[in-house]
Amino acid sequence: MVLGRSERGKPPVEPVTLKILVAGGFGVGKTTLVGAVSEIRPLRTEEVLTEAGRPVDDTHGVEGKNTTTVAMDFGRITLRQDLVLYLFGTPGQDRFWFLWDELATGALGAVVLADTRRLEDSFAAVDYFERRSIPFVVGVNCFDGAARHPADDVRQALDLDEAVPLVLCDARERESVKEVLIEVVRHAMAHTADRRPRVTT
């Protein structure tokens, strides 16, 4: 069998790479989400919580947490041969927010991960992306033992615009996280199309 030119001489596909941020409050599951879906061993910048940080690291509701992200988490997932997502998990504490602007540069969109036990921790991330017109999706991380609330109630509590998708997810489960990321890409593409100037003839 003789391979045709399209088989043998075909240049390798150069994938389109898209950058997505994973944001949210302290202890909401950002590092877990990136690790659950990344096809490479995630780069993590976690440090052990110390007694000195206790006054500024609010562990209420996440008392079992003993580490924190101090710069970012990084992972990669290939959706198709020609489409690769780079995931950047942001640090959750206020004192590391100066890193957000650097991480947000060139981002297609974002996931704001939310915990219904501490929804107020999501307000800052929602506000950040709204102010910068970066399309985002809210992923409600369904923790074991946490009360389940109707999506409309969570949307109202977060004062979300109707156009912002809100999905339930489990940050530990690869397939669940993939659905959230697919929703981010869809939403970002629609957002870009809406902002594209209309050509009139």
Going from N- to C-terminal start, the domains of the chain cover 5-195
Mean pLDDT of 46-70: 48
- Helix, strand and coil in the chain, % to nearest 5: 35, 25, 40
3-class DSSP state of 12? coil
Better-scored residue on pLDDT, 88 or 2: 88
What is the DSSP track for 160-195?
--TTS-EEEE-TT-HHHHHHHHHHHHHHHHHHHHHH
Q: Which of 122, 173, 183, 166 is nearest to 143 (CA)?
A: 173
Say how far apart CA 5 and CA 18 lie, in whole Å: 30
Instruction: Label residue 9 by pLDDT band (50, 70, 90).
Output: low
Mean pLDDT of 86-110: 83
Identify the sign of the CA torsion 42, 108, 85, 146: positive
3-class DSSP state of 102? helix
Say how far apart CA 129 and CA 97 lie, in whole Å: 13
Q: What pLDDT, on the 0 to 100 scale, is given for residue 79?
A: 78
Q: How far is CA 42 from each of CA 37, 94, 172, rounded to the nearest angstrom?
A: 9, 23, 14
Instruction: Label residue 44 by pLDDT band (50, 70, 90).
Output: low
Q: What pLDDT, on the 0 to 100 scale, is given for residue 21?
A: 95
Extended beta strands in 28-158, E state: 43-48, 67-80, 83-89, 109-114, 136-141
Q: Can you give the pTM of this predicted structure?
A: 0.76
Strand-pair partners of 86? 19, 76
Better-scored residue on pLDDT, 52 or 173: 173
- Whole-angstrom Cα Rg for the chain: 19
Q: Of the given ranges (1-5, 27-31, 104-108, 172-176), which has the lowest mean pLDDT?
A: 1-5
Q: Kindly state the tokens that stand for 85.
A: 């997502």
Q: Are strands 67-80 and 43-48 parallel, antiparallel or unpaired?
A: antiparallel
3-class DSSP state of 48? strand
Q: For 5-195, CATH number?
A: 3.40.50.300
Mean pLDDT of 79-101: 80
Q: Across the chain, what does the average pLDDT equal?
A: 81
Instruction: Label residue 98 by pLDDT band (50, 70, 90).
Output: confident
Angle CA 128–129–130, to nearest 5: 95
Mean pLDDT of 147-154: 88
Q: Could you tell me how many helices (H) and strands (E) the chain has, helices first?
A: 6, 7
Instruction: Label residue 24 by pLDDT band (50, 70, 90).
Output: very high
pLDDT tens, residue by residue, 116-148: 989 999 999 999 999 999 999 999 999 887 778
